[in-house]
């Protein structure tokens, strides 16, 4: 049932805005694929192209081996879940879900069975006869999911489906949506600006900026090996220290920066001597030691703490080193703490320093 979705050189413009700019991408059959990017980057336009609400100006869209550019939305067998649920408020839960089946001309008993199994999937069997407008936001979103799943879609499209929910419920829905994917193995395509959604649920994700796909990879690949400074700062948090490559070879480089010489063992761009770079260093990779620790070791920076933010599980430090603002995260902080004004040594593993072309 599940299909692979393939776009080849797909473009869609509105007047002078290129919302989707020459995108080529393949979502594998049964994959849980994310499109992640900031507001206005073209995510919804991309999703609407896959759903059939927009036709690409150029390029080709395929479901498995079939070109579907001219297939209308209701013939694509896609399920859709929106941020605002888009349910009929005065209908019951069962009527809402049944609506997805009306085109399919099923007998009553078969329809009832399908409604029950869709409700089981979202753990809402007991709510079958409730009016939708008496449900909470989280419950309504489960019904929207059930309505999309009941038709056994070839691909399930999700547009920021949990953005309206509070933080605790969002986390619960992430777990449940992922479990639904694991159980059904439907091809799922989820667009969001929320990196936590993508990092926690995706098999693979694409990062989009201004209509262009910048990078595609697993969450770990994208977080650990961002292709450029945009991806490094959009997916997770990072520090940037600007510098110039002194020499680079075989995956390592020496970089001159205002905070001193840094040695990187994670170089995956072609960097010639003299290339300006931004060294991306994640906050958790800055190890905060006290002032008196060895400051001659490689990749050690002297910095001053400007603010301390204690959050229980973690402690965040704002620092400054030679006018470069930095952020460090310390896990499992004890009773002792460092204070604003303290001078510290920051130690960084060479593997955690990623020079990216400026």
Q: Which spans of this chain sit near ligand ATP (rule: CB under 6 A)?
A: 14, 17, 19, 37, 39-45, 193
In the complex with ligand ATP, the residue whose CB is nearer, 43 or 282, is 43
HEC readout, the chain: CCCCEEEEEEEEEECCEEEEEEEEEEECCCCEEEEECCCCCCHHHHHHHHHCCCCCCEEEEEECCEECCCCCHHHCCEEEEECCCCCCCCCEHHHHHHHCCHHHCCCHHHHHHHHHHHHHHCCCHHHCCCEHHHCCHHHHHHHHHHHHHCCCCCEEEEECCCCCCCHHHHHHHHHHHHHHHHHHCCEEEEEECCHHHHHHHCCEEEEEECCEEEEEECHHHHHHCCCCHHHHHHCCCCEEEEEEEEEEECCEEEEEECCEEEEECCCCCCCCCCCEEEEEECHHHCEEEECCCCCCCCCEEEEEEEEEEECCCEEEEEEEECCEEEEEEEECCCCCCCCCCCEEEEECCHHHCEEEEC
Q: How far is the CB of 38 from ligand ATP (least distance, A)?
A: 7
In the complex with ligand ATP, the residue whose CB is nearer, 42 or 355, is 42
In the complex with ligand ATP, the residue whose CB is nearer, 41 or 121, is 41
Q: How far is the CB of 287 from ligand ATP (least distance, A)?
A: 36
In the complex with ligand ATP, the residue whose CB is nearer, 40 or 89, is 40
Q: How far is the CB of 14 from ligand ATP (least distance, A)?
A: 3
- 93, 73, 99: which is closest to 139 by C-alpha? 93
In the complex with ligand ATP, the residue whose CB is nearer, 39 or 272, is 39
In the complex with ligand ATP, the residue whose CB is nearer, 119 or 191, is 191
Q: How far is the CB of 280 from ligand ATP (least distance, A)?
A: 24
Q: How far is the CB of 56 from ligand ATP (least distance, A)?
A: 13
Q: How far is the CB of 129 from ligand ATP (least distance, A)?
A: 35
Distance CA 34, CA 220 (A): 14
- Distance of alpha carbon 280 from the chain centroid: 19
Q: How far is the CB of 198 from ligand ATP (least distance, A)?
A: 13
Strand 187-192 relative to strand 155-159, pairing: parallel
Q: How far is the CB of 193 from ligand ATP (least distance, A)?
A: 5
- 281, 201, 207, 290: which is closest to 241 by C-alpha? 281
In the complex with ligand ATP, the residue whose CB is nearer, 18 or 308, is 18
- Quote the longest CA-to-CA distance of the chain: 78
Q: How far is the CB of 211 from ligand ATP (least distance, A)?
A: 7
Q: How far is the CB of 45 from ligand ATP (least distance, A)?
A: 3
In the complex with ligand ATP, the residue whose CB is nearer, 216 or 349, is 216
Instruction: Name every residue whose Cβ is closer than 8 Å to that of residue 313 and which is 6 or more positions away in sequence.
Output: 331, 332
In the complex with ligand ATP, the residue whose CB is nearer, 210 or 316, is 210
In the complex with ligand ATP, the residue whose CB is nearer, 152 or 210, is 210
């Amino acid at each position: 049932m599940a299909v692979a979705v393939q776009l080849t050189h797909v473009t869609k413009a509105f007047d002078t805005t290129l919302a989707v700019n020459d995108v080529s991408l393949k979502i594998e059959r049964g994959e849980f694929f994310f499109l992640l990017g900031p507001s206005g980057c073209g995510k919804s336009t991309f999703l609407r192209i896959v759903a059939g609400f927009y036709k690409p100006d150029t390029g080709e869209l395929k479901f498995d081996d079939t070109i579907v550019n001219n297939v209308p939305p209701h013939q694509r067998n896609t399920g859709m879940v929106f941020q605002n649920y888009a349910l009929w408020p005065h209908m019951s839960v069962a009527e809402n879900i049944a609506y997805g089946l009306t085109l399919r001309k099923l007998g009553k008993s078969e329809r009832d069975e399908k409604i029950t199994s869709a409700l089981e999937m979202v753990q809402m069997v007991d709510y079958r006869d409730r009016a939708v407008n008496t449900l909470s936001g989280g419950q309504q979103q489960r019904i929207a999911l059930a309505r999309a799943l009941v038709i056994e879609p070839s691909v399930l499209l999700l547009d920021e489906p949990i953005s309206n929910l509070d933080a605790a419920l969002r986390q619960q829905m992430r777990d449940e949506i992922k479990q639904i994917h694991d159980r059904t193995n439907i091809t799922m395509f989820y667009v969001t600006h929320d990196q936590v959604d993508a990092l926690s649920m995706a098999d693979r994700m694409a990062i989009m900026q201004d209509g262009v796909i910048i990078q595609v990879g697993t969450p770990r690949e994208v977080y650990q090996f961002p292709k450029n400074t945009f991806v490094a700062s959009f997916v997770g948090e990072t520090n940037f220290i600007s510098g110039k490559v002194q020499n680079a070879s075989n995956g390592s480089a020496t970089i001159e920066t205002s905070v001193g010489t840094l040695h990187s063992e994670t170089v995956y761009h072609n960097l010639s001597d003299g290339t300006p770079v931004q060294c991306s260093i994640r906050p958790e990779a800055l190890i905060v030691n006290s002032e008196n620790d060895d400051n001659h070791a490689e990749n050690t920076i002297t910095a001053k703490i400007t603010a301390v933010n204690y959050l229980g599980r973690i402690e965040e430090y704002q620092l400054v080193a030679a006018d470069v603002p930095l952020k460090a995260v310390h896990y499992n902080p004890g009773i002792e703490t460092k204070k604003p004004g303290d001078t510290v040594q920051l130690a960084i593993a060479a593997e955690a320093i990623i020079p990216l072309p400026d």
